[in-house]
Amino acid sequence: MRQRVAYFPDSFHEVNGVAHTSRNFQAFAERHQLPFLCVRAGSRETVFEEHGSVQTLELRRSFASVPMERDLAFDTLFLRHLRMVRLRLESFRPDIIHITGPSEQGILGAIFAWRMGIPLAASWHTNVHEYAARRAEWLTRFFSPRAKEATERTVQDAALNATARFYRLAKVLFAPNDELCTLLTNATGKPCHLMQRGVETNTFSPAYRTRPQDDKEFVLGFVGRLSVEKNVALLPVIQRSLESRGITNFRFLVIGHGSEDALLKAALPRAEFPGVLKGAALATAYANMDVMVFPSHTDTFGNVVLEALASGVPAVVTPDGGPKYIVRNDETGYIATDEGFPDAIERLLREPTTLARMRLAAREYALHCSWDAVFERVYDAYGKLKN
């Protein structure tokens, strides 16, 4: 008998990795007719719905919500929903409550796990501590290099310690890669299991490429939030470096939105900025890329990297965070330092046989990833907890 899971995601409708994983988690429960209650925040009126074995309770955010990003906010009055959530939980009778972080939803889930004596599971999807250090750069940029490094390290350590205290409330933890699992276990003393991410290989495929075969322009793609923690400031640096080498037959395709939008548009005048794309438009955009350029140092996994590989697009990523576990160096792309990004891109641009080989290898790798396999492992971990 499968566990009855009450799931409290940080985000569901937004454009980010947590929301993408959460939508697929609910879809997995629907496909397999598993008892599943998803309690989430939204902008519409509070509503409860049932879809077969799956129930959803969407709670409206209030006017007191504090913006965190363009499409993310923290509702300071979210606890007003306590009574409604309690009634739904009492009716659903979950075996496990699963939260995805210290958001208003996560706090609500942790409260009810404690009040009702239900085991709490918590998955780590965002490197909050590294994000905090990056966001401190508005101040530390005025410091000396030594003071800047020390201050950002202090901010990062403090954020990690605060977040770890919250995660210690859980009986079992999940993270998208082995490195983070080790970090979490060391910081909390709790067991941690992998909760990686999958990809829809029918949705993302090289078959959606629409560019003419005689198009000689090289398309460098980026998909994600245009914010400081994604290290998007490296994109103009890459452009200048390639141009200094006499390479001009390329352009950037930058998909997403965020606080660095205006800066990038000013620095990349030849780039395309279509904003946020979804569905067929996003699949076509991926397939029309030649290389995925993803310079983030803080991503815990990198959904967009896996989607690019499924589209037959090799990726260049940093040696930090989760994407390095997706990209196989010199097989499905390159793992490079910030300074090494232009070299890696130049090699792919100048060696069409290497690019063709990597396109095939990228697609082949993605075909072995599936959401069902990801969530089956999560339920296996639930079972071990119950026993």
Beta bridge partners of 255: 223, 275
**Pairing between β-strand 333-335 and β-strand 36-42 as defined by DSSP bridges:** unpaired
Reported as a single tens digit per residue, the pLDDT across 268-295 is: 999 999 999 999 999 999 999 999 999 9
Residue 148 is predicted with a pLDDT of 65
Tell me the three state secondary structure of residue 55: strand
What are all long-range contacts of 180-189, with beta carbons under 8 Å and residues at least 24 apart? 180/124, 180/127, 180/300, 180/322, 184/124, 187/160, 187/161, 188/164
Q: For residue 364, what is the enclosing H or E element?
A: helix 352-366
Q: Which tokens sit at 387?
A: 């026993």
pTM metric for this prediction: 0.74
- In this chain, the answer to whether the domains covering 5-198+370-386 and 206-366 adopt an identical fold is yes
Higher-confidence residue of 341 and 177: namely 341
SS3 state at 24: helix
Q: Which pLDDT belongs to residue 387?
A: 44
Report d(CA 301, CA 24) in Å as an integer: 15
Residue 2's pLDDT band (boundaries 50, 70, 90)?
A: confident
CATH number of 206-366: 3.40.50.2000
The β-bridge relationship of strands 54-60 and 36-42 is: parallel
Q: Judge whether residue 386 has pLDDT over 80.
A: no
Contact by Cβ (8 Å): 109, 5: no
pLDDT class of 128 with cuts at 50, 70, 90 = low
Q: Domain limits of the chain?
A: 5-198+370-386, 206-366
Tens of pLDDT, residues 212-221: 988 889 999 9
Q: Are 146 and 153 in contact (CB under 8 A)?
A: no
- Residue 154 to residue 259: CA distance in whole angstroms: 24
Q: For residue 162, what pLDDT is reported?
A: 78
Tokens of 249: 């037959």
What does the pLDDT look like over 141-186, one tens digit per residue?
666 777 766 666 766 667 677 788 999 999 999 998 888 899 899 9
Strands 54-60 and 47-51, bridge-based pairing: antiparallel
Considering the segment(s) 5-198+370-386 as one domain, its CATH architecture is 3-Layer(aba) Sandwich (3.40)
Calculate the average pLDDT of the chain. Answer: 89
Instruction: Give the separation between CA 226 and CA 200, rounded to whole angstroms.
Output: 24
At residue 75 the predicted structure's pLDDT band, cuts being 50, 70 and 90, is confident
